[in-house]
């Protein structure tokens, strides 16, 4: 099936073919194929001749999907007719944990203005710290994170509202 996707803001015209546990994704003259396995919010992708990639996949606001590979966050949204991925101007983004973790730092409070890429909350899992960053400029609407508290995978820690127009 043909899909128009935005990956980290870049537009891609893709063809996606799924057959059981195998997949093939074509983007222009590039193609990736391999095997996939789901385990809750965890996705394992095995590419021929390469290592197995493990990703944590969480639904985000605005019809987007947050995909964590190692400690890198990638936002994926499917464009639909008449616009991009349901990202409405007044809709808030939510930052969620990709895995069970302990909150070790909260760098923002409700009402704070933030910029894209700014670290809002830091969590720790399996002795590894992961910074959750703002996907765009905005204003912190709510903070549901408290230092020292264990949170489940998929827990919403920060809601980010659109930045007010000047």
pLDDT band with cut points at 50, 70 and 90 for residue 122: very high
Higher pLDDT, 166 or 20: 20
* Residue 85 within any structural domain of the chain: no
Please report, for residues 15, 26, 43, 80, 81, the alpha-carbon distance to residue 4 in angstroms, rounded to integers and kept in the order given. 9, 11, 21, 8, 10
Q: Final residue of a domain: which of 50, 79, 108?
A: 79
Q: Is residue 15 part of a domain?
A: yes
At 138, which CATH number?
2.40.50.100
Residue with tokens 């605005």: 62
> pLDDT (tens digit, 9 = 90+) per residue, 1-49?
888 888 877 888 899 888 888 888 899 888 888 888 877 667 888 888 7
- Predicted confidence at residue 111, as pLDDT, reads 94
Instruction: Output the six-digit token pair for 54.
Output: 């493990």
Residue 64 and residue 115 in one domain: no
Tokens of 35: 């095997």
Q: 17 is written with which tokens?
A: 């073919």
Write out the residue range of the structural domain in which residue 97 sits: 93-162
Looking at residue 88, its pLDDT comes to 41
108 or 152, greater pLDDT: 108
Query: Are 125 and 74 in a shared domain?
Result: no
CATH number of residue 29's parent domain: 2.40.128
Domain shared by 75 and 97, yes or no: no
The answer to the question of residue 88 being in a domain is no
Contacts of 93 (CB under 8 A, 6+ apart): 60, 61, 62, 134, 135, 136, 138, 159, 160
Q: Among 79, 110, 126, which residue terminates a domain?
A: 79
Query: Tens of pLDDT along 123-162?
Result: 998 888 888 888 778 899 999 999 999 988 778 899 888 8
CA dihedral sign of residues 30, 17, 10, 117:
negative
56-87 tens-digit pLDDT: 777 665 567 778 787 787 878 877 654 444 44
For the chain, give the longest Cα–Cα distance.
52
Per-residue pLDDT at 92 = 61
How much is the pTM?
0.52
Question: At CA 63, angle to CA 42 and CA 150, rounded to 5?
Answer: 45
- According to the model, what pLDDT value does residue 90 have? 45
- Asked if residue 84 belongs to a domain, the reply is no
What is the total count of domains within the chain? 2
65 falls within a domain: yes
**Boundary (domain end) residue, out of 79, 102, 129:** 79
Residue 16 CA, distance from chain mean position: 20
The DSSP line for 31-86 is EEEEEEEEETTEEEEE-TTSPEEEEEEEE-GGGEEEEEETTEEEEEEEEBTTBSTT
CA-CA distance, 28 to 85, in Å (whole number)?
Answer: 21
Q: 66 and 118: one domain?
A: no
């Amino acid at each position: 099936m043909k899909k128009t996707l935005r990956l980290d803001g870049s537009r891609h015209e893709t063809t996606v073919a799924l057959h059981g546990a195998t997949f093939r994704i074509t983007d222009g003259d590039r193609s990736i194929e391999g095997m996939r396995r789901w385990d809750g919010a965890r996705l394992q992708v095995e590419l021929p001749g390469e290592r197995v990639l493990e990703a944590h996949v969480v639904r985000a606001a605005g019809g987007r999907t947050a995909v964590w590979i190692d400690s890198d966050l990638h936002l994926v949204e499917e464009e639909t007719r008449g616009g991009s991925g349901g990202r409405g101007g007044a809709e808030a983004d939510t930052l969620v944990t990709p895995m069970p973790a302990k909150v070790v730092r909260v760098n923002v409070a409700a009402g704070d203005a933030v910029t894209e890429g700014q670290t809002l909350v830091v969590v720790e899992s399996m002795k590894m710290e992961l910074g959750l960053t703002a996907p765009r400029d905005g204003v912190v609407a709510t903070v549901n994170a408290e230092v020292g508290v264990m949170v489940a995978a998929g827990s919403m820690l920060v809601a980010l509202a659109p930045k007010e127009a000047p």
